[in-house]
Amino acid sequence: MKKIIAMSAVALAVSSGVQADVRINGFANLVGGITSSDDSLYGYDDNVSFSPESLFAIQVSGDINERMTATGQLVARGEDDYDVAFEWAYLTFQATDDTSISAGRLRMPLFRYSASLDVGYSYHWVVAPQSVYNVPFNNIDGVRVDFNGYSDDLEYTFQLTGGKVENDFTLAGQSARLQINNVIVGTAEFTYLNWKFRGVAARGDVTFDIPALEPAFAQLGQIDSGLQSLLEANDDSGLFYGASIEYDAFDWFVAAEFTGAEIEDSFYPDETNFYVTAGLRSGKWTPFITYEKSDLNDGPKFVDRIAGFPAPLQVPLTQLVIGIQQPAISENDTTSVGVRYDYDTNVALKVDVSKYSDDLDESQDATLVRFAVNYVF
Amino acid sequence: MKVLHFIAKGAVLLILSWQAIAETVVIVHPSNSAQIDAKQVQRIFLGKEKKFSDGAESIPVNQIADSSVRSDFDTTVLGRSSSQVSAYWSKLVFTGKGVPPKEVTNDAEVLALVAKNPSAIGYVDAASVDSSVKVVPLD
């Protein structure tokens, strides 16, 4: 019976030439992990846990007419107690064969794997490298224009995205809120034979609302309101940039991605992150290795400004200026080895071991073992 | 014992020669006169191209993932394993950038669809081809 329905659906679609159907797809990542004793990493501790990185999602899309498609994605994340949220909801207008315009809530194309970041099945890692991919803003309310083309063996994609980002996040264990207005993201991607190159640049007006830092900012403001507004991220211009390169020979691949961000007039440290990854594809097995590094340790900013203040104020000012910046400062690197096994054309099994080393506080070093089942339908 | 060994050898030879004979060919409607090469078939089946070279709409018809003709097509024409093709589509599907080709279960269904739709393009084992469709010589 199922087959008959499937067959007639195909016959219908092929004969009419217009696919007026509603498509339902889904994906699931069941990820479990356990750290070495008394350690914690990415939300895992030394008891097996499934909640930090597991998720289940349903995507519904339907063609409104020949040129317009509506897409909605419902995601239940373990870290949010599997509460279901509409992470994406947008309309796409296919303006020409190579240009489309999407509007609504959509994924911000910051990274090489931004678009399919939640679809574990689409990459070899258990979870995309945290040093680069762990940002508190992945979705944007706005508009994205996609342009694709090719000439001979060169394929190219350009994307221009504009809009607004709002999200809750955690800084040094404290909940906080982030708002970025007037976001503009430009990306360019080129595929030439086995090579893939990508570049991205973005800017936005950033506001951090961090209750934990409010008292310190208030104290700073009593001494000098200029320094307070300098350190606060309040509608301050921020920059994001990144590049990636990949060589995929099908039997093996190697890829690297680099990103950086800065919000000059704020307490937030300039950051640079990268990873290098390589893997072999041998039948159903893909063993891989990844080295990643995250650096938000560029030395405290604005310390030179303190010298201009009267001597008695310099000590408390130094404490405040450095103290406010401290929670965001970090520097660490991680090496992971793992393997992906293609159990079926829509199911992958994975396991990896990560060794995390904190360059500022050795006591935070940890070893994490994770295993995953990725499913798409 | 020797006999068994001989039979085993014969069976292996048989399998090898059968694999050598089994050849996947790309087919279109007999009225389709567009120029089609391997690169275009690849682009059409990977959702990168929605038209034939003459500007007419192209609708790829795929076979189900566990058929041998599909895995042969994926490896020889698309240049990747069926799992990789599936991972490729999962990226496009879940970013709203594409819809994978419809899948049917065997050569006969591909032939039936291609025979009656000038826009359709499919692939079958060479042995299944009949006069209702046109074989596209790749390169």
pLDDT (tens digit per residue) in B1-53: 455 555 555 555 444 444 445 689 999 999 998 999 988 999 999 998 889 98
Q: For residue A25, list chain B residues with Cβ-Cβ distance below 8 A.
A: 93-94
What local confidence, expressed as pLDDT, does residue A299 receive?
Answer: 83
User: Measured in whole angstroms, how far is the alpha carbon of residue A70 from the centre of its chain?
Assistant: 23
pLDDT band for position A145 (cuts 50, 70, 90): very high
The verdict on B68 touching A (C-beta cutoff 8 Å) is no
- For residue B22, the model assigns a pLDDT of 66
B13 part of a folded domain: no
- Nearest chain B residue to A72, by CA: B96
Long-range contacts of B52-55 (CB under 8 A, 24+ apart): B52/B121
Domain membership flag for residue A11: no
A231-255 pLDDT per residue, tens: 999 999 999 999 999 999 988 999 9
The tens digit of pLDDT for each residue in A345-377 reads 899 999 999 999 999 999 999 999 999 999 998
Indicate the pLDDT class of residue B93, thresholds 50, 70 and 90.
confident
Percentage of chain A lying above the pLDDT 70 cut: 94
What CA–CA distance (Å, rounded) separates B25 from A233? 61
- Cβ distance B106 to B63 under 8 Å? yes
Q: Does A373 touch chain B (CB under 8 A)?
A: no
Per-residue model confidence as pLDDT tens digits over A259-300: 999 999 999 999 999 999 999 999 899 999 999 999 999 888
Average pLDDT over residues A150-160: 92
Give the pairing type, strands A252-263 and A347-358. Answer: unpaired
Q: For the sheet containing B24-28, what is the strand order?
A: B102-104, B59-63, B120-125, B24-28, B134-136
Confidence of residue A52 (pLDDT cuts 50, 70, 90): very high
DSSP state of B57: B
For A78, the domain range is 63-335
Q: Do A116 and B57 touch (CB under 8 A)?
A: no
| Whether A44 contacts A52, CB under 8 Å | yes
Residue A331's closest CA among A301, A366, A363, A293?
A293
Among the residues of A224-293, which ranges form H helices? 225-231
Residue A371 lies in a domain: no
Residue B72 in domain: yes
pLDDT reading at A184 higher than 90: yes
- Residues of B whose CB is below 8 A from A57: 94
Parallel, antiparallel, or unpaired for β B59-63 and B24-28? unpaired
Mean pLDDT of A199-223: 93
> Residue A1's pLDDT band (boundaries 50, 70, 90)?
very low
- Looking at the structure of chain A, the number of domains it has is 1
Token couple for A165: 């980002």
Q: Is the pLDDT of residue A56 over 80?
A: yes
In chain A, whose CA is at the least distance from the CA of B60?
Answer: A14
| Spatial contact of A377 and A346, defined as CB atoms under 8 Å apart | yes
- Specify if B63 maps to a domain: yes
Residue type, B115: A
Q: Is A198 on the interface with B (CB under 8 A)?
A: no
In the prediction, which pLDDT does A174 show?
A: 80
A105-114, A312-321, B11-20: range with lowest mean pLDDT:
B11-20
**Residue A377 · residue A25 · CB < 8 Å:** yes
Confidence band for A3, pLDDT divided at 50, 70 and 90: very low
pLDDT of residue B11: 52
Phi, psi of B107 (to 5 degrees): -60, -40
> Are A255 and A220 within 8 A, CB to CB?
no
- Cβ-count burial of A352 within 10 angstroms (0-12 exposed, 13-18 middle, 19+ buried)? buried
Say whether residue B95 is in contact with chain A using an 8 A CB cutoff.
yes
Q: Hey, is the C-beta of A288 within 8 angstroms of any chain B C-beta?
A: no
Q: Is A312 on the interface with B (CB under 8 A)?
A: no
Cβ-based contacts under 8 A for chains A and B: 90
Best of B83, B88, B89 to mutate (most A CBs within 10 Å, chain A): B83
Q: Which tokens sit at A26?
A: 């889904």
The pLDDT of residue B137 is: 87
Could you give the percent of chain B with pLDDT greater than 90?
50
φ, ψ for residue A107, nearest 5 deg: -75, 135
Domain total of chain B: 1
- Residue A49 DSSP symbol: B
How many CA atoms within 13 Å lie on the side-chain side of A234? 10
Angle at A361 between CA A359 and CA A366, to 5 degrees: 80
Looking at the domain assignment, is residue B123 inside a domain?
A: yes
Q: Cα separation of B132 and B118, whole Å?
A: 11
Q: Is A18 inside any structural domain?
A: no
For residue B103, pLDDT over 80 is answered with yes
In a domain, A351, yes or no: no
B50 to A153, A262, B57, B80, B119: CA distances (angstroms): 18, 41, 6, 21, 10
- A63 vs B: CB within 8 A: no
State mean pLDDT over A210-230: 91
Whichever domain contains B47, its CATH number is 3.40.190.10
pLDDT of residue A135: 85
Look at residue A81 and give its three-state secondary structure.
coil
Predicted local distance difference test score (pLDDT) of residue A178 = 93
Q: Return the ∠ at Cα B123 (arms to B118 and B124), rounded to 5°.
A: 120
**Owning domain of residue B74:** 24-136
Predicted local confidence at residue B139, as pLDDT: 66
Total-model pTM: 0.84
CATH no. for residue A317? 2.40.160
**A345 to B82: CB separation less than 8 angstroms, yes or no:** yes
Is the pLDDT at A225 greater than 70, yes or no?
A: yes
Q: Does the CB of B76 have a partner CB in chain A at under 8 Å? A: no
Burial A163-196 (b: 16+ CB within 10 A, else e): bebeeeeebeeeebebbbeebebebebebeeeeb
CA distance A49 to A194: 38
User: Is residue A177 domain-resident?
Assistant: yes
Average pLDDT estimate for B114-126: 95
Q: Which residues of A touch B95 (CB under 8 A)?
A: 107, 115-116
CB B40 within 8 A of CB B49: yes
